[in-house]
Amino acid sequence: MKKSDLKTGMWVEFKNGGKAVVLLNTNLDTMHPERNKNRDMLVMVSGGWHDLSEHGEDLTCAFDRYYDIVKVFNSITHHSAITGKNLTLIWEREETIEMTLEEAIQKLKEVTGKPIKITI
C-alpha cells in the first residue's frame, strides 16, 4: 500500500496504536487558515491531526516513527467512515526482523532441530 492509494474515509493505525481517518483535499486547518489549500489530512480519534504530507509514499512519518502507518482499513458505509467502527483491514505493514548472524543460526536450529552451518 502506498500513500497515493489512500482515499477519504479510510482509516489508518499508527505504530503507537492511535487511529485516524483519512480526509483528502480538505480545508480544515482553523489554526492556520492561510494554509487551507486543499490539504490531505489524517484526523485522529484523540482529537489531533497530521498533515498527510508529513508521510512518505511508503506511509512512514518524517518526524516520528511512532506515527508510521502500520495498518489501513476500508470503511464500507458512511457510518463506519465517520465512527471508525466495523472497518475492514486491507493492508498491514510487514515489519523486518533484525538479528545478528548468531541469533539467526540459533533460530534456524530451533526451527529445524538440526545443527546449522553457514557457508559464504
Q: Could you tell me if residue 99 is inside a domain?
A: no
Return the H-helix or E-strand segment holding 110: helix 101-112
Q: Could you tell me if residue 60 is inside a domain?
A: yes
Q: Walk along the chain (120 residues) in steps of 10 and give the mean pLDDT of each run.
A: 95 95 80 69 86 94 94 89 89 90 90 88
The residue range of the domain holding 30 is 3-92
Q: Could you tell me if residue 109 is inside a domain?
A: no
pLDDT value for 24? 93
Q: Could you tell me if residue 58 is inside a domain?
A: yes
Number of domains forming the structure of the chain: 1
Q: Could you tell me if residue 116 is inside a domain?
A: no
Q: Could you tell me if residue 29 is inside a domain?
A: yes
**pTM recorded for the entire structure:** 0.75
* Those residues with Cβ within 8 angstroms of residue 21's Cβ, 6 or more apart along the chain or in another chain: 9, 10, 11, 42, 43, 81, 82, 84
pLDDT value for 30? 61
Q: Could you tell me if residue 101 is inside a domain?
A: no
Q: Could you tell me if residue 112 is inside a domain?
A: no
**Spatial contact of 9 and 25, defined as CB atoms under 8 Å apart:** no
